[in-house]
Amino acid sequence: MERMIRINLLPTRDAPKRQAAAFQIAAFAILFVVIAAVMLAVDIWQNTRISQQERTNSVVEDRIERIRRQIRDHDQIKARIDEIESKQRVIEELESGRTGPTFVMVELAKILSRSGSPTIDHDRYLELVRRSPGQAYDPNWDGRRLWLREFREESRAVELKGDALSHEDVAELLRRLTLSDYFYEVTLVNTKTESEEAATKSLAAGLSSFVSFEIRCRLRYEGLPAGAQPGAEPPAAAAPAQPGTGA
């Protein structure tokens, strides 16, 4: 019995599958190459940036090191400067304590002398009088209408006690002390008019009655306002003066 060999000449169904598989493999290969190229490019870019940053950091570190060398003794120098300034302040304080009382006594003598006046900067005085004419001192006031019985100072706090012929004379002294560059925080503690009996006796003896007063203030030995110089003569009043009461 003879067998016949059959040959199928029709295209098989496996060929398209193989072609599709080959295409996919090629696509994956291309994608892999692209991804690898991108990753390589990113890696090169990152390495370039890192290298640039390292060079920048190196430059900054060198600069910081130079600055550190320059200011290595900064704390010691600052401490030395602070020490010198502290000593200078002590010296200035001692100097003002030595010469200050002299200036204050000269200033007080000027305030109480005939035709005397307080030490004050000219422009500042004019501005004060412009804003408040009642602050002007009387250039014609006779300081002999008032006399001091006591001048007590402790830590630049002063207590003044004395007598005057009238309350207006006490007010004139207060104005002058307040204007002076050497006195501040001037306060009238009290005034006391002579008793009627004492006044009668004074008048019988040919004397005038008087007003006792007590004033407290503080001294300024240094740090005078701009333009003021110890012992300098202030200007005459630029506003109507407050006249004192006659004897």
Question: Which residue bears the tokens 């003569």?
Answer: 233
Is 59 within a domain?
A: no
124-136 tens-digit pLDDT: 999 999 999 988 9
Please indicate whether residue 156 or residue 87 has the higher confidence score (pLDDT): 156
Is 229 within a domain?
A: no
pLDDT for 173 equals 94
Please indicate whether residue 77 or residue 46 has the higher confidence score (pLDDT): 46
Is 199 within a domain?
A: yes
Q: What domain range is 166 assigned to? A: 100-219
100-119 tens-digit pLDDT: 677 888 888 889 887 788 98
Is 211 within a domain?
A: yes
Is 153 within a domain?
A: yes
Instruction: Produce one character per residue of 61-86: b if its CB has 16 or more CB atoms within 10 Å, e if not.
Output: eeeeeeeeeeeeeeeeeeeeeeeeee
Cβ contact 242:132 at 8 Å:
no
Going by C-beta distance under 8 Å and a sequence separation of 6 or more, which residues neighbour residue 198?
A: 209
- Phi, psi for residue 164 in degrees, rounded to 5: -140, 160
- Phi, psi for residue 214 in degrees, rounded to 5: -140, 125
Predicted confidence (pLDDT) at residue 79 exceeds the cutoff of 60: yes
Could you give the CA distance from residue 49 to residue 51 in angstroms, rounded to a whole number? 5
DSSP string, 114-145: TT------HHHHHHHHHH-GGG---TT--GGG
Domain count, the chain: 1
User: What does pLDDT average to over the chain?
Assistant: 75
Q: Give the mean model confidence (pLDDT) for residues 71-90.
A: 69
Sign of CA dihedral 23, 25, 26, 27: positive
Confidence of residue 47 (pLDDT cuts 50, 70, 90): confident
Is 82 within a domain?
A: no
pLDDT for 203 equals 47
Predicted confidence (pLDDT) at residue 166 exceeds the cutoff of 80: yes
pLDDT for 1 equals 54
Confidence of residue 73 (pLDDT cuts 50, 70, 90): low
Could you give the CA distance from residue 162 to residue 150 in angstroms, rounded to a whole number? 7
Is 198 within a domain?
A: yes
187-205 tens-digit pLDDT: 999 998 865 555 455 545 4
Is 56 within a domain?
A: no
Predicted confidence (pLDDT) at residue 56 exceeds the cutoff of 60: yes
Greatest CA separation found in the chain? Answer: 187
208-221 tens-digit pLDDT: 668 999 999 998 87
6-38 tens-digit pLDDT: 555 555 556 666 777 777 787 778 877 888 788
- Identity at 229, one-letter amino acid code: Q
Could you give the CA distance from residue 219 to residue 104 in angstroms, rounded to a whole number? 8
* Predicted TM-score (pTM) of this structure: 0.51
pLDDT for 240 equals 34
- Phi, psi for residue 157 in degrees, rounded to 5: -95, 125
